[in-house]
Amino acid sequence: SEAEVDALRSYGYAIGMAFQIVDDILDYTGDEALMGKPLGSDLREGNVTLPALFHLERYPKDNPVNRYFRARRLREERLQEALAAIRESGVIESSLDMAKEYVRRAEDAVRILPDSDGKDTLMTIGRYVLDRDV
């Protein structure tokens, strides 16, 4: 039905947003060996993700993220300062809260679907998204 298609569309959007936010968080908190890339890769590549955006919003003056992007020398040192500031500021937790909200929206979207193994699978994907470490 059209309602089911809309529910699945909403689910896909919300679960995708949650997945991306957790991916952004892992770039600050993950295990480099498991991830196969160094922490801070997003900032290194010039990508300002949700944790960095939250940090810039909360600390607009003399922000280490801004200092990193403006740095012409000591870039790795500035990057490490930015990563530490983000980890210590509470924005990781705020980002995770937003990911949880998107999972909640995804789960709410598919509640209208008839009970089935497929619906059960969709409902468990949110836990996987929030609990993954790579």
Predicted pLDDT of residue 134: 60
Helix axes 117-131, 2-29, angle to 10 degrees: 20
Predicted pLDDT of residue 68: 94
pLDDT < 50 regions, the chain? none
Predicted pLDDT of residue 133: 75
Which positions ≥6 away from 41 have C-beta within 8 Å?
27
Which positions ≥6 away from 65 have C-beta within 8 Å?
43, 48, 52, 55, 56, 82, 85, 86
Predicted pLDDT of residue 112: 95
CATH number of the domain at 2-131, out of 2.40.40.20, 3.30.720.120, 3.30.497.10, 1.10.600.10? 1.10.600.10
The domains of the chain are located at 2-131
Predicted pLDDT of residue 49: 96
Compute the distance between CA of residue 77 and CA of residue 57 in angstroms, rounded to an integer. 22
